[in-house]
Structure 1
Amino acid sequence: MGVILKDLQRVQWTRLQAAGGASARAVPALLSKAAWSDRDTARVAVDELGDLVCELGFVVQEATAPSVPFLVELAGAPHVLCKADVLELLRKIFIGRQWSAASQAFSSGTGIHLAPQVGWEAAAQEAVRAGQHVFEGLTASVDPDVAQAAAKLLQSIEEDSRLSAEAKERGTNK
C-alpha cells in the first residue's frame, strides 16, 4: 500500500456497515486500487467505493467517515490519477443529508429513531472539513478538472458554514 493508505489496516472494516447493510470489507481494496491503478481502473474503483460509502450519491453509511481521511490522502497524493473523481465523491459525502432529513420527517412521533445514521453524516462531514487545507491547495492544480472539483467542494463547505452560522444567529435572536 506504500506511503499513503498505510493506516488502512487500523480500521476494522468488516465491522462497519456499508450500503445495503453489507460489510465494508471491500473498502481497503478499492482505496488501494484508486491509489495505484491506471486512470480508468482508478475511476472505476472510486465509483464502486462511492456505491459502498455514499449510496445513490447522497446516503452516507457507517463506513463513510472512516473512509474520508483515506480519500483526502488520495486527493492530496501527487501520483493519484483520479483526483477529480475522489473530490467529487468527497463533495457528495459532505452534502449528503438523507438521514438528517428522514430523521426530521420521522420526529413527529413515528417511533423511528435515526440518531446513529445522523451521527454518521455528522462524522463524515467533519472528516471532510478536516481535509479543507488539501482541497484549497488543489484549486491551483494544473489539471482543470481537479481544480474545478476542489473549488466545487470548497464552495459546498463554505455554503454549509454560512448556512450554519445563519441558523445559529436566528436561534440566538429569538
Structure 2
Amino acid sequence: MKVVAVSCSPRVGGSCDILVDEFLRGVRDGHKEVSIDKYKVANMKINGCMGCYGCKSEKGCVQRDDMQVIYRDIYDADVILFASPIYMGYITGIGKSFLERMFAFSKGHYDLNLPSGKRSVLILTQSHQREDAYRRVADEVINIFNSYGINTVGRIIAAGIDRNTESIDDNILNIAYQSGLNI
C-alpha cells in the first residue's frame, strides 16, 4: 500500500503535524508492506492554478514548481491523507493552492487521469470548540476529492485545538492512530 500525506499547516510540529504523524504511525503498525511519502506543502513552492488549461493539452501541469514532485506520488497512491488547520474559516492558502492544482488530473472537466480505487482521509484542526462549526469546509474538501474519483473513507475534525499542542485530546490522537491502523 502506498500512502501520500499532505500537511498544509505552516507550523512545524503543530497540531496538524501531530495528528498526521499519529495516523501514519497507525498505518505503519497496521500494514506490513507500506510506502509513505509525507509532504509539508507550506515548505514547498506550490503556485495556485493559473486556469490556463495547459494541463489539458500538455502532459500534466505546465507550471514547474514543487507540485511536480507530488503529482507522481498521488498518481501511484492508494491512500491520500490531506490535513489542514482552519484559518479564517477555511483551509490554509497553500492547501487551497494544492487542491486547485489537482485540476491537472482531469483531461477535461469530467474525464480523469487518475487510476480508480483511491481513498482519502481528511484531518482538519480548529480552535473553535464546536466540531460542526466548519463542517462545511470538510464537506467541500471531500467533494473535491470525490470529483477526482477519490473515495473519502475518513474525516477527523479536531476541535478546540489552540496553538498549544498540549490541548490535543488523547481521544482525537487515538482516533487518528486507529484510522491509520484500519485504513
Same fold, TM exceeding 0.5? no
Shorter-chain TM-score: what band? 0.3 to 0.5
TM-score normalised per structure 1: 0.35
Query: Please, what TM-score do these two structures have when normalized by structure 2?
Result: 0.34
Structure (1/2) with the larger strand percentage:
2
Larger Rg: 1
> Greater helix percent: which structure?
1
